[in-house]
Amino acid sequence: MVPEVRRLRSVVDTGPVPPSDEDLLLATARGDQQAFAAFYDRLSPLVHGVVRRVVRDPAQSEEVSQEVFVEIWRTAVRFDADRGTARTWALTMAHRRAIDRVRSEQAARDRTQRVVDSEHARAYDEVSERVEVGFEHDQVRTALGTLTDLQREAVQLAYYQGYTYREVAELLDTPLGTIKTRMRDGLIRLRDALGVSA
Amino acid sequence: MSEQPDLHTLTGAYAVDALPDDERALFEAHLAVCAACAQEVHELQATAARLGATSVTAPPPHLRAQVLARIDTVRQERPPATPAESDELAARRASRRRVTTGLGAAAAVLLIAVAGLSAMVIELRAQVGELEVVAAQAEQAGAQVTALTDRLAELEAREQDVIVTTSAVTDVLAAPDARTVLVEHDDVVGRVVASPNRGEAVFVADGWEPAPHEHTYELWLISDDGAVPAGLFDPDERGRATRVLTGDMSAARAVGITIEPEGGSPTPSDDPIMVLELS
């Protein structure tokens, strides 16, 4: 086992080509804490960015981001490079965790009150330490521009505001079946505009 | 009332985490057996991640130290131990594993029921064992042993019953052609997951009040020829129930629910309180 560990460590420390996110995650799966720390340094601004956008509350967002990285450490062995990038894997986990937190927080609250609160939260949203990633932001904004209004709103309300499709249907006063279909064909159009492959 | 004719259209809502927890679990059970949906989900998740990557927020510096300290105390999951298997076999296993872990809320309820019953069975077995020892010394314990043995046999039969039901539910939920019909009155939810190919359907109740005293809920398969009994159900303390429908599904165009005297009735005694149209 020892030569194996040394080889992986050298992936992190040296080498002319920096290790890919996937390399770091695969090394993490084998218990390499240095690789995990490097993965954290690279991905934490993205992960925390997603979590902050959905959860909003800074203290809760910290907790969720910490949970996400502990989960990444614990389940790194499940990452399968054939099914997507390490970045997608981490951001999917971050979004799911953020949504779960928002849902458990809001479960007890009155539904109407919740929508009102979120409308307020949206107004204060831009105060955070968020930095737009220029190139990525422009590309995605252009791609979002190819969607119909309903597709775009359905996708954004779900992804950024954390609403269920039922809540989106209510907010947009549109039948449930239509919202589900718009989420799917909206994302498919985005996928094609961005040239995403899994 | 709403209808979900096709699970395959849920890939988008799933990829942006917009499915409520119970539907998410149902859809994950479907994903485990539908390769086309799994592929589409991977692509749409990658797309959703691009939405997330448009901006960054640096976490506070102390978080790094906290995370690194935490992982020192967290054991990592091990790779699945299947070195000698062919890829195909391993894949099939993994898929079965996903079905199990991704079980629908309905099946989860049953699994909990199995666990509860199994615990009681184990407990009673232990008690019977202890009492048998005592009985050897004191004959009056004999009657107690008999009573407990009867109770154990009854519980074991129920345990077997629940295990059989659970696997039937799982089979329907995982069927590639599984379709869901959902009816919601305020917080009372009735849902039928049907697999036409298997000729089977599962009814899942959520948020139901207990039936009135000495009454029960009865399910009916409604066809052009009328209504035939499809099983009884009583919600648990959380208002939930899961029932595999009995009877011939092929002619049924709807599932109805009535309130009947305890033990059920051969024909509905009143108008249904809920009707789920199957097509």
Concatenated DSSP letters of B193-212: EEETTTTEEEEEEESPPPPP
Q: Is the pLDDT of residue A91 over 60?
A: yes
Spatial contact of B7 and A161, defined as CB atoms under 8 Å apart: no
| Chain position carrying tokens 């991905």 | A43
pLDDT for residue A1: 43
pLDDT for residue B164: 67
Mean pLDDT of A65-91: 95
- Set of chain A residues whose Cβ sits within 8 Å of the Cβ of B57: 45, 48-49, 52-53, 128-131
More confident residue, B188 or A145: A145
Per-residue model confidence as pLDDT tens digits over B37-58: 999 999 999 999 999 988 889 9
pLDDT for residue A172: 94
A4 to chain B nearest CA, in Å? 16
Q: Answer whether A45 sits within 8 Å of B59, measured CB to CB.
A: yes
Per-residue model confidence as pLDDT tens digits over A109-142: 644 455 555 554 444 444 456 777 777 788 899 9
Per-residue model confidence as pLDDT tens digits over B216-228: 999 999 988 889 9
Q: Answer whether A45 sits within 8 Å of B56, measured CB to CB.
A: yes
pLDDT for residue A10: 47
The residues in B 12-71 lying below 8 A from A, measured between CB atoms, are 12-13, 15-21, 39, 42-60, 63-64, 66-68, 70-71
Q: What single-letter DSSP state applies at residue A83?
A: G
Q: pLDDT class for A53, splitting at 50, 70, 90?
A: very high
- Mean residue pLDDT of chain A comes to 84
Find, among B236, B276, B1, the residue nearest to A176 by Cα. Answer: B1
Spatial contact of A174 and A151, defined as CB atoms under 8 Å apart: no
- Set of chain B residues whose Cβ sits within 8 Å of the Cβ of A33: 68, 71-72
Return the bridge partners of B232, or none: B218
Q: What is the pLDDT along chain B (279 residues), one digit of tens a residue?
A: 343 447 788 999 999 999 998 888 888 888 888 889 999 999 999 999 999 988 889 999 999 999 999 999 999 998 876 545 455 555 555 555 444 444 455 565 565 566 666 666 666 766 777 766 666 666 666 677 777 888 788 777 777 766 666 777 777 777 778 888 888 887 888 888 888 888 888 888 888 988 888 889 999 999 888 899 999 998 888 888 888 888 888 888 899 999 999 889 999 988 888 999 887
Q: Answer whether B16 sits within 8 Å of A130, measured CB to CB.
A: no
Mean pLDDT of A86-98: 97
| Chain position carrying tokens 């925390």 | A48
Q: Is B78 on the interface with A (CB under 8 A)?
A: yes
Find, among A72, A67, A50, the residue nearest to A162 by Cα. Answer: A50
pTM of the model: 0.59
Smallest Cβ distance to A194: which of B2, B47, B70? B47
| Chain B residue with Cα closest to A154 | B13
Find, among B158, B101, B152, B93, the residue nearest to B128 by Cα. Answer: B152
Q: Could you give the CA distance from residue B250 to residue B179 in angstroms, rounded to a whole number?
A: 14
Q: Could you give the CA distance from residue A12 to residue A178 in angstroms, rounded to a whole number?
A: 48
Q: Answer whether B52 sits within 8 Å of A94, measured CB to CB.
A: yes
More confident residue, A7 or B269: B269
pLDDT for residue A126: 45
| Chain A residue with Cα closest to B44 | A187
C-alpha distances (whole Å) from B204 to each of B188, B228, B259 are 11, 19, 16
pLDDT for residue B102: 46
Per-residue model confidence as pLDDT tens digits over A32-46: 999 999 999 999 999
pLDDT for residue B121: 67
Q: Is B79 on the interface with A (CB under 8 A)?
A: yes
Q: Could you give the CA distance from residue B203 to residue B246 in angstroms, rounded to a whole number?
A: 11
Spatial contact of B65 and A99, defined as CB atoms under 8 Å apart: no
Smallest Cβ distance to B78: which of A49, A77, A159? A77
Tell which of B2, B17, B28 to mutate to test the A interface (max A CBs under 10 Å). B17
Tell which of A56, A92, A147, A176 to mutate to test the B interface (max B CBs under 10 Å). A92
Tell which of A106, A165, A176 to mutate to test the B interface (max B CBs under 10 Å). A165
Q: What single-letter DSSP state applies at residue B239?
A: S
ipTM of predicted assembly, 2 dp: 0.84
